[in-house]
Amino acid sequence: MDFREITEFFRDFMGYIIAFVIIVLIFTFVVAFHPVAGNSMIPTLSEGDVVLVSKFSHKLFSLKRNEIIILKSSNEKTYIKRIIGLPGEKVDYINGVLYINDKGYNEPFLADDVITNNFLFEDICPIEDCPDGVIPDDMYLVLGDNRMDSYDSRDSELGLVPISNIVGSVIMRIWPVNKIGLVD
């Protein structure tokens, strides 16, 4: 019996094990693939699309307005939404215009025929929960791009989303192949 063959086999085998462990760690802590279910993000994302999600960027960097995120609700369901309101902001929607701290904002990612029903910040976060009249620290207001068919912060069961419920930020669409690319 030649021990060099055995040690060479184990050396090669350990290389595969190390590679496998690294891949598992990357997909556990760094990135994930996430399928899009439902119509709430049309036209940006459609049911059946698959996105690549960064699971750590929101822990290192501040989340930004219009960033698309994956979140878990209190009932453990996973949703994909767009951040509209940041901590310290008051968000209202009046006559088709998004107001953040009483200043109008354009939403270029919305389809031209999208209608967003009016709401005031007090409708989303009553004064008992938001005594300062703004989104509390580490909370976010999220909406789907398909405003008429979206379960989002306007629904009292979801409401404002704590950062602890955010799984990650969408980096890019990877499926279908003809739509591979960054997502705005």
pLDDT (tens digit per residue) in 68-97: 999 998 888 999 999 999 999 999 999 989
Cα 164–72–134 angle (5° rounding)?
55
41 contacts 142 by C-beta, under 8 angstroms: no
Give the domain range for residue 112. Answer: 3-182
User: Considering the entire predicted model, what is its pTM?
Assistant: 0.83
Question: Quick one: pLDDT at residue 120?
Answer: 94
Of 40, 54, 150, 153, the catalytic one is: 40
Q: Please, what sign has the CA dihedral across residues 29, 30, 36, 38?
A: positive
Question: Quick one: pLDDT at residue 1?
Answer: 60
184 contacts 178 by C-beta, under 8 angstroms: no
Cα 108 from chain centroid (whole Å): 18
Tokens, residue 73? 């609700």
Number of domains in the chain: 1
Q: What is the CATH number of the domain that holds 147?
A: 2.10.109.10
* 40 among known catalytic residues: yes
Q: Please, what sign has the CA dihedral across residues 107, 120, 70, 60?
A: positive
Burial class (CB in 10 A: 0-12, 13-18, 19+), 157: exposed
Question: Quick one: pLDDT at residue 162?
Answer: 95
- Tens digits of per-residue pLDDT, 161-176? 999 999 999 999 999 9
Q: Which is higher by pLDDT, 141 or 31?
A: 141
Question: Quick one: pLDDT at residue 18?
Answer: 85
Cα 49 from chain centroid (whole Å): 14
* 59 among known catalytic residues: no
Question: Quick one: pLDDT at residue 122?
Answer: 93
167 contacts 69 by C-beta, under 8 angstroms: yes
How would you classify residue 31: left for phi > 0, otherwise alpha for psi between -120 and 50, otherwise beta?
beta
Of 54, 55, 81, 150, the catalytic one is: 81
